[in-house]
Amino acid sequence: MLRAQTIDATQTFGSQNVNSLQLLQQGWELYQKEKFAEAVKVLQQASQALESQGDKLNQALALNYLSLAAQQLGQWPEATKAIRNAITSLHADSLTLLQANSNTRAKEHTSVLAQAFNTQGQLQLALGQSEKALTSWEQAHNAYTQISDTAGII
């Protein structure tokens, strides 16, 4: 009960985004600890909260992680929906970035997009769609090359 009150109090003071980012971080940590079912729940909450705040980049990251966790559970429709929504959101956000001419934000955006393409490729391979997976990984490679991320290229 005290925890819920603390969250409500911080939201009252405009820290909603901080709480959303904490959910995102918590979900990723659960994924890394192989607590996939818990990760799915937390990442769904993070995605919804980030969407309501208009934070498309972090929402896409949450959806990417959600897809990874759902894949580990064999929840293929959920994994597919999450990664499709992540990539769609990132493509929609591209125009805004071009208009803002923000190089730092564009690099972050491209990095998350590359991660999403990698996740999509992994999902497609698991579903027996090897040619589609190869195309997704080529898109990831191109995105990583665009931002000179040599670790991602490999």
Residue type, 63: L
Residue type, 46: A
Quote the CA–CA distance of 70 and 97 in Å, as a whole number.
Answer: 30
Provide the 3-class DSSP secondary structure of residue 128: coil
Predicted local confidence at residue 154, as pLDDT? 65
The structural domains of the chain, with segments of one domain joined by +, span: 2-153
pLDDT in tens, 1-31: 222 222 232 333 345 667 999 999 999 999 9
Which CATH fold topology does 2-153 show? 1.25.40
**Share of residues in the chain with pLDDT > 70 (%):** 83
Predicted local confidence at residue 99, as pLDDT? 60
16, 9 Cβ separation under 8 angstroms = no
Residue 142 per-residue DSSP state: H
Residue whose token pair is 């992994």:
122
> In terms of pLDDT, which residue wins out, 3 or 108?
108
52, 68 Cβ separation under 8 angstroms = no
Mean per-residue pLDDT for 79-85? 98
Mean per-residue pLDDT for 90-116? 80
Predicted local confidence at residue 98, as pLDDT? 59
pLDDT in tens, 122-139: 999 999 999 999 999 999
On average, the pLDDT of the chain sits at: 86
Question: With helix as H, strand as E and coil as C, how does 10-41 read?
Answer: HHHCCCHHHHHHHHHHHHHHHHHCCCHHHHHH
Predicted local confidence at residue 38, as pLDDT? 98
| Confidence class for position 152, pLDDT limits 50, 70, 90 | confident
